[in-house]
Structure 1
Amino acid sequence: MNVHLKVQPHHLERGAYLYIRQSSMRQVVENVESAKRQYALRGRAVALGWRDEQIIVIDNDQGESGASAAWREGFQRLVSDVGMGHAGIVMGLEVSRLARNNADWQRLLEICALADTLILDEDGVYDPASFNDRLLLGLKGTMSEAELHVIKARLRGGILNKVRRGEFRCLLPTGLVYDHFGNVTLDPDMQVRETIIHFFEMFSRLGSASQTVKVFRNEGLLFPSRLHNGDTLFRPLTASTAMRVLNNPRYAGAYTYGRRQFRRTIDGKRTLRARDIDDWPACIPDAHPGYISWERHQENLKILKANGRGFEAARASIPREGPALLQGRAVCGQCGSHLRVRYAARLAGRKPGTFVIVPASIVGSPCVSRSPGLPSMKPSAC
C-alpha cells in the first residue's frame, strides 16, 4: 500500500511522536551519528504532512537499555499517550530503539492497532491494524529480541573464558590491589595489612566474629574500608563487615567469580542470591597472595557455620546464664527444633531446678517445656 494512502487526515490531526534512545551513556557520548539519524526522522514526519509543532520528541530514555520498559519513563509516557489517542504516528529509527523485549513491543503494537496509530521506522510506514504490517512488525520485534540475546551471549562467553583462566579483573576487597602489571598483591599500606592480619589472628584465637568485633571496639581499633573513589578510610569494625571479610575467599588467595547471582523479579527489581561453591563459574585456590591459607579459610567457614543456630551449634555450645537447665540441649520431639529460653524477668538468687519436657502429643499444642518455678522454653519452629 502507498505510504500516503496509509496516512489519513485523522492521523494528521494528532501528534507525531519521535522516540529516541541509546543503550548506554557511552553510546550517547561517542555514537553521535546514531543520534543524528534518529533526530532526522522529524523530516520524514514533515514530509508526510505533520506540522513541525505537532512533532513531540521523547528523548529522556538516553542511556537506558531497551531490554525492559519497567525503568524507561519515556517509553511508558509514549504508550500512555498512544492509548489516550494523542498520537497519530510513532517514529523510531528501528524496532530495537523502541523495545528489545517482545512483550513490550507486542503491547505497543496492540495499543497502536486499537488507537489507529501508525508506526514509522527507517524502512517505511506500517499500520498495526493491517495483518501484513502487523506480521512484519512482529517478526522485526522477534529478531530484535533475539539479537539482544546473541549480543549478551557473545559478551558473556568472552567474560567466562577469561574467568576460567583467572584473568578477568574483578573488584577487589579492602587489603588487595592490582599492581602495574595487573597482578593481585597485598595492599602496600602497612597499616591496612597489619589490621587485617590482626583481625584474622583474633578470630582464630576467639572463634567468634562478634567477639572479634568486641575486641576491636574495646581496644579502639579501626578497620580499613575502601571507598568508591579508591581512597581508604578507617572505621569502627561492624559485625556485617567482619562476616563479609571472613566469607570472602579472596583473602585466602583464591580467585573466585560468580559467588552471588542477580535475579530480576516481576516488578523489575534485582535481587541478590548467594550460590553454593559448586555453582561458582570459577574458584581457583592459591591464585594470588592472601592473608590466610585456603585451608584456614575453610576452617573459618566451618566455625561460622557451627556458631549459627542448629544442632551442631547447640551440641557444641556451653550452657548460658540463667537458672534453666538443658537450654540449648533439649530438642522438640515433634519438629526437632532446639528449645530456647525466654525469661520474663531477671530471676536473681534462684537455684537451678530439674527441667521437665512435656511432649506436644500430651498437651495437644505446640511443644512447651517447663520446670516448676522456671521460665518456659519453646522451640523456634514448632
Structure 2
Amino acid sequence: MIDLDGVYDPGRPNDRLLLGMKGSMSEFELGVLRTRMLDAARSKARRGELRISVPIGYVWHREIGLGFDPDLRVQETIRLVFARFRELGSARQVLLSLAAEGACFPRPSDGKRLVSFDWTPVRYRNVISVLKNPFYAGAYVYGKSQHRTEIVEGRARKSYGHGKPLEEWEVLLKDHHEAYVDWEEFERNQTLLAANAYGRAGGAKSGRGGRALLIGVLSCARCGRRLTVSYRGRQPSQAIYRCERPHQMLGLPRCLGFGSSRVDEVVAGELLRAVEPIAIEAALEAERRHMEHQAERRRMAELDLQKARYEASLAERRYAACDPDNRLIAAQLEKNWEAALRRVESCEARVASVSAPVPVAEVPDFAGLADDLQAAWNAPAVTTRARQRLLRTLIVNIIADVDEAAREVILTIHWQGGQHSQLRLTKPKSGEHGCRTPEEAMAVIRSMATRWSDAEIAAQLNRMGMRTGQGKSWTAHRVGSLRRVRGIHAYRSAEEDGEWLTQYEAAAALGISRHRLVRLINAGLIVAEQVVPGAPYQIRASDLQDQRVLAAVGRKGEPRRLGSKDQLSMFPDT
C-alpha cells in the first residue's frame, strides 16, 4: 500500500500497526468534522438562517430570502384551506367541501425546487399537511422529528421521521417570516384537530351526523367517561345514551342510560333560547360569510382561468417554434395545445357559472327571526350534522346523571365562556314512549265521552286542530281505542234519561227545523251548553217548556222575528 508518506507492506507487523493507527485517526477526524458541521447547522438554525426545505406556498428568494410564493393561485389555495377549516372545523369536511367545488392542489413537478407545479384534485393529506405545519403560522422550526434505532433479527436498524412533541423541538422561532395565519389560530387548529380524533384520551367525537344530537358531548357524572349511543327497534331510529365502557372493558354494571328523544328536545330548546338574543346578528353574519364565500369562489375560478390561458399561450408558442417537418414532435405539441385550449374553455365555463348574476332579493325583515328559530331548527332541509355543529359551537360539554329515586335525568350544560346551567327532566318508565296524546285532547274526550258518540268526538277534535300522539287525525276507531285504554266510559243512547237533548232531538221535540232552533239559541230564549267552543249544543229538556219558547214556536203566518229588549221600535207610540 502506497500513500504520500511512503510504501507499506501489510505483511509486516510494524506496517500493519502504522496503517491501523492512521485509519483510526482518519475515522476520528471524519467524526469530528461531521460533528462540527452538525453543530454549525444547528447554530445557523437557531438564528433562523439555515435554508431548510419549505412547504408549498413559500420559496427561498436569492435576494430577499424567505417569502410567499409569487404565484397568486398557490397563495389563494393555501388561504382557502385555512378559511374553510375556520368555517367548518373539520379537516374531513374541508376536503369534502373543496372536492365538491372541483378545487385542485399544487403538486411539485420539479422535486424540491418548487418552481413548477401540476394541479391535481385535492386530497386529505394535502389538507392535513397544511393545517398541521407550523411553518404557515410564521414559525421557523428545526428538529421536530427524530430517528430511532431498534434491534431487528440481531441487527440495529434506524427509522427516521418520528415526530416529537412541541416542547421537545430543538428550534422554534415565532414571527420569523410572513404567515398565512397567526400563531394563536394555529394552536386553536391543533386543539380542534386533536379533539376531532375520537377515541384518543380527551378526544370528543365531532359532529358527523347520525340520529343522536348529543353524541360525543355527553359525559357520565359517575365515572367521567363519554357516553356512547346504541340503537334499538326494527329500524334503528330510537337512540339510547349509555355509559358502556365499564361494562365492555371491566365487566361492571352500566353507570346509567336513558333515551335520546326527550333529552335532545330539551337541550335543543335550551340552545335556541340562548341563541334568541343574537339571532338577528347571527343571520347577518351568515349572510356576510355567504357573500365572502361566493367572492372567494369567483376569485379562485378567475385565477384558474388566468393560469389556463397562460399555459395555452405557452403551448401555442411552442407549437409555432417547432419545425413543421418534424411530425413526431409537432404532433405531440399540437395535442398539448388542444388540451390547454379545452382547459381554457372549462375554466371559462366555471367562471361564467360562478359569476352568473343572482336575482336581487328584498332585504328580509329580521324582526321576527327569533320567533322562527324553532321552525328553522326543525326544517327538513337542516341536517343533523348542521345541528351538531351549532351545538358544539355554543356548548363545551354536558355532564349527565340519573336520579333513580326521583326518576329524573340531570343535565349540567357547560357553555362556551364558562357559564353553566342545569336541566332536570322526567325519565320515562319502562314501556313508556313519547307518542302520548296531548292532555288538551284527553280533556275534550273525557268531557264529551258520556254525551256524544266517538264519531262526533273525532269530528270536534279535528275541527279544533288537535292530533293524536303520532301526529295523525282523529277517527271514531282511534277515539274508541283511546277510551278503552284509558278506561273512559262510552256514549250509549240506551242509557239516556231524557234530561239532556242534542240539537237534532230538541228540534224534533219542538217540531221545528234545526236552523230555527239555532236562531232561538242565539236570541237567548233557549239555554244551550257547549263543552268547548265549536262542540255540539247540549240542551236541557225542561228548558223547552218555557212559555217564551213555546210562544216563539207557536207564532205562524207572520215573520218570525224575535223580540229583544235592547231593540228600539221604528214607529214608537207618540
Q: Normalised by the shorter chain, which TM-score bucket?
A: 0.5 to 0.7
- 1:209 touches 1:242 (CA, 8 Å); kept in 2? yes
Counterpart check, 1:250 vs 2:135: yes
Counterpart check, 1:296 vs 2:185: yes
Counterpart check, 1:146 vs 2:31: no
- Equivalent residue number for residue 126 of structure 1: 10
Partner of 1:261, secondary structure, is strand
Specify whether residues 218 and 260 from structure 1 end up closer, same or farther in structure 2 by C-alpha distance, changes over 3 A only: same
Please report how far the alpha carbon of residue 124 of structure 1 lies from its aligned counterpart in structure 2 after TM superposition: 2.0
Distance in structure 2 (CA, Å) of the matches to 1:339 and 1:260 = 36
Partner of 1:283, secondary structure, is strand
Partner of 2:49, secondary structure, is coil
Please report how far the alpha carbon of residue 204 of structure 1 lies from its aligned counterpart in structure 2 after TM superposition: 0.6
Specify whether residues 149 and 195 from structure 1 end up closer, same or farther in structure 2 by C-alpha distance, changes over 3 A only: same
Partner of 2:53, secondary structure, is coil
Specify whether residues 222 and 358 from structure 1 end up closer, same or farther in structure 2 by C-alpha distance, changes over 3 A only: closer
Q: How does 1:141-220 map to 2 (within 5 A)?
A: 141-220=23-102
TM-score by length of 2: 0.37
Q: Which runs of 5+ in 1 are unaligned?
A: 1-40, 45-92, 95-120, 373-382
- 1:325 touches 1:355 (CA, 8 Å); kept in 2? no
Q: How does 1:53-132 map to 2 (within 5 A)?
A: 124-127=8-11
Distance in structure 1 (CA, Å) of the matches to 2:243 and 2:172 = 50
Partner deviation per Cα, 1:274-313 (whole Å, 9 max, x = no partner): 1222222211111111111111111111111111133533
- Equivalent residue number for residue 373 of structure 2: none
Of 118, 123, 147, which aligns to 1:262?
147
- 1:252 touches 1:297 (CA, 8 Å); kept in 2? yes
Q: Which runs of 5+ in 2 are unaligned?
A: 259-574
Partner deviation per Cα, 1:321-370 (whole Å, 9 max, x = no partner): 25799777567x99x87576799x99625423574748459x97599999
Q: Which has the higher contact order (CA 8 A, sep 6+)?
A: 1
Letter in 2 for 1:126: P
Partner of 2:202, secondary structure, is helix
More helix by percentage: 2
Distance in structure 2 (CA, Å) of the matches to 1:122 and 1:268 = 40
Partner deviation per Cα, 1:24-56 (whole Å, 9 max, x = no partner): xxxxxxxxxxxxxxxxx5xx7xxxxxxxxxxxx
Distance in structure 2 (CA, Å) of the matches to 1:369 and 1:181 = 66
Distance in structure 2 (CA, Å) of the matches to 1:198 and 1:251 = 13
- Equivalent residue number for residue 203 of structure 2: 313
- Equivalent residue number for residue 54 of structure 1: none
Distance in structure 2 (CA, Å) of the matches to 1:352 and 1:194 = 43
Please report how far the alpha carbon of residue 140 of structure 1 lies from its aligned counterpart in structure 2 after TM superposition: 4.7
- 2:228 touches 2:241 (CA, 8 Å); kept in 1? no
Partner of 1:287, secondary structure, is coil
Specify whether residues 269 and 182 from structure 1 end up closer, same or farther in structure 2 by C-alpha distance, changes over 3 A only: farther
- Equivalent residue number for residue 10 of structure 1: none
Please report how far the alpha carbon of residue 264 of structure 1 lies from its aligned counterpart in structure 2 after TM superposition: 4.6
* Bigger Cα displacement from structure 2, 185-194 vs 302-311: 302-311
Distance in structure 2 (CA, Å) of the matches to 1:133 and 1:300 = 66
Specify whether residues 330 and 347 from structure 1 end up closer, same or farther in structure 2 by C-alpha distance, changes over 3 A only: farther
- 2:58 touches 2:69 (CA, 8 Å); kept in 1? yes
Specify whether residues 122 and 360 from structure 1 end up closer, same or farther in structure 2 by C-alpha distance, changes over 3 A only: farther
Partner of 1:289, secondary structure, is coil
Specify whether residues 234 and 366 from structure 1 end up closer, same or farther in structure 2 by C-alpha distance, changes over 3 A only: farther
Letter in 1 for 2:188: E
Distance in structure 1 (CA, Å) of the matches to 2:256 and 2:158 = 46
Letter in 2 for 1:153: T
- 1:185 touches 1:289 (CA, 8 Å); kept in 2? yes
Distance in structure 2 (CA, Å) of the matches to 1:195 and 1:146 = 50
Distance in structure 2 (CA, Å) of the matches to 1:318 and 1:123 = 78
Specify whether residues 224 and 292 from structure 1 end up closer, same or farther in structure 2 by C-alpha distance, changes over 3 A only: same
Specify whether residues 209 and 139 from structure 1 end up closer, same or farther in structure 2 by C-alpha distance, changes over 3 A only: same
Distance in structure 1 (CA, Å) of the matches to 2:29 and 2:107 = 41
- 2:9 touches 2:16 (CA, 8 Å); kept in 1? no
Please report how far the alpha carbon of residue 150 of structure 1 lies from its aligned counterpart in structure 2 after TM superposition: 0.5
Specify whether residues 367 and 282 from structure 1 end up closer, same or farther in structure 2 by C-alpha distance, changes over 3 A only: farther
- 1:358 touches 1:369 (CA, 8 Å); kept in 2? no
Specify whether residues 358 and 158 from structure 1 end up closer, same or farther in structure 2 by C-alpha distance, changes over 3 A only: closer
- 1:324 touches 1:353 (CA, 8 Å); kept in 2? no
* Bigger Cα displacement from structure 2, 272-281 vs 186-195: 272-281
TM-score by length of 1: 0.54
Of 169, 179, 182, which aligns to 1:280?
169
Letter in 2 for 1:256: V
Distance in structure 2 (CA, Å) of the matches to 1:209 and 1:325 = 21
Distance in structure 1 (CA, Å) of the matches to 2:230 and 2:160 = 34
Specify whether residues 353 and 276 from structure 1 end up closer, same or farther in structure 2 by C-alpha distance, changes over 3 A only: closer
- 1:162 touches 1:168 (CA, 8 Å); kept in 2? yes
- Equivalent residue number for residue 222 of structure 1: 104
Specify whether residues 212 and 143 from structure 1 end up closer, same or farther in structure 2 by C-alpha distance, changes over 3 A only: same
- 1:326 touches 1:355 (CA, 8 Å); kept in 2? no
- Equivalent residue number for residue 126 of structure 2: 241
Partner of 1:313, secondary structure, is coil
Between the aligned residues of both structures, percent identity stands at 31
Distance in structure 1 (CA, Å) of the matches to 2:245 and 2:185 = 43
- Equivalent residue number for residue 351 of structure 1: 238
Partner of 1:125, secondary structure, is coil
- 1:177 touches 1:187 (CA, 8 Å); kept in 2? yes
Partner of 1:256, secondary structure, is strand
Please report how far the alpha carbon of residue 135 of structure 1 lies from its aligned counterpart in structure 2 after TM superposition: 6.3
Distance in structure 1 (CA, Å) of the matches to 2:42 and 2:245 = 56
Distance in structure 1 (CA, Å) of the matches to 2:90 and 2:245 = 34
Q: How many residues are treated as equivalent by the alignment?
A: 252
